Amino acid sequence: MDKFRMIFQFLQSNQESFMNGICGIMALASAQMYSAFDFNCPCLPGYNAAYSAGILLAPPLVLFLLGLVMNNNVSMLAEEWKRPPGRRAKDPAVLRYMFCSMAQRALIAPVVWVAVTLLDGKCFLCAFCTAVPVAALGNGSLTPGLSAPELARLLARVPCPEIYDGDWLLAREVAVRYLRCISQALGWSFVLLTTLLAFVVRSVRPCFTQAAFLKSKYWSHYIDIERKLFDETCTEHAKAFAKVCIQQFFEAMNHDLELGHAHGPLATATSPSASHSPTEGTEEEREKLRGITDQGAINRLLTSWHKCKPPLRLGQEPLMGNGWAGGGPRPPRKEVATYFSKV
């Protein structure tokens, strides 16, 4: 159990590197999924384009959503976006930075899927086989003898070699090579554009807005660390509260048993004064509760944290009631002067 805890703490401390590794694994998985996927073009004029568009767009959307779901900052971003302003204003620049940092990682796998799909050429061949220029690549003299629906139905069978019977009009190998050449050109262009865009986003953008970029990055890290520390503090407080409640329950049960068996051996072994005296461990747990010892006070504290988080300013007064006290005058500070003499 300690090994798993150490691994979990290591992943938390290296969350950014861990998420980069997860995105890389998802990118490799997307390429492997496409290679294992059995692409079956319907070879029908009304369904080829729809099927190809679904294969090209639906899996990248699923991979993008999975990349967002696997990122731990999604819930933090939603909480920061939906929380009441309270005593702490929300900074839209920080929200944009958090979303952009998540979206950049989540887009890696969809980009790999689209690039592999275009470079393979099957999807593009299925979608645009009816747009092959028969006049330039095939026997254009026979085209006027066919109606538009008949020509579309014939060309829609180009991706399916087992049912294609239009070699007298257009050689299937010529059409396949023509469309795959265009698809691969689009694929490499897509890879080049995404690489240039990633370079601009990661390198050039911070150079023009360095101050705003640093501020957004700082407060994004602050929100993440604040949330982790609050969760740890809540865990410690809940553990102390539960321990004190359980100890009080067993102390009360022992006292009831002593009252019911006043003449038994239990009464001679323990005394009421000893049963009511708290142990040293209980006193330590009570100190961790910080004076918040009932369910209503804890609920008010959690509600106050959600609705009016403390302002980001050091030296505030402690939390009192449902809000943060600090509006009144502060007590005067004592100034101490120290004199040094050279001897």
Task: Yes or no: say if 306 and 83 are a contact pair by the CB < 8 Å rule.
Answer: yes
* Percentage above 90 pLDDT, the chain: 18
pLDDT tens digits, 264-288: 444 444 444 444 445 565 666 666 6
The highest-confidence range among 68-77, 91-100, 287-296, 327-336, by mean pLDDT, is 91-100
The answer to whether residue 172 scores a pLDDT higher than 80 is yes
Instruction: Give per-residue burial for 111-144: e unless 16+ CB within 10 Å, then b.
Output: bbbbbbbbbbbbbbbbbbbbebebeeebeeeeee
Residue 331, judged by CB atoms within 10 A of its CB (0-12, 13-18, 19+), counts as exposed
pLDDT tens digits, 106-152: 888 889 899 999 999 999 999 999 888 888 887 766 666 678 888 88
Residue 226, judged by CB atoms within 10 A of its CB (0-12, 13-18, 19+), counts as middle
Mean predicted confidence (pLDDT) in 68-93: 83
For the chain, give the mean pLDDT: 77
Distance CA 28, CA 30 (A): 5
Distance CA 82, CA 93 (A): 15
pLDDT tens digits, 45-54: 889 999 999 9
Distance CA 313, CA 309 (A): 11
250 Cβ contact partners less than 8 Å away, ≥ 6 residues apart: none
Task: Yes or no: say if 201 and 104 are a contact pair by the CB < 8 Å rule.
Answer: yes
Where does the pLDDT of residue 263 fall: very low under 50, low under 70, confident under 90, or very high at 90 and above? very low
Where does the pLDDT of residue 25 fall: very low under 50, low under 70, confident under 90, or very high at 90 and above? confident
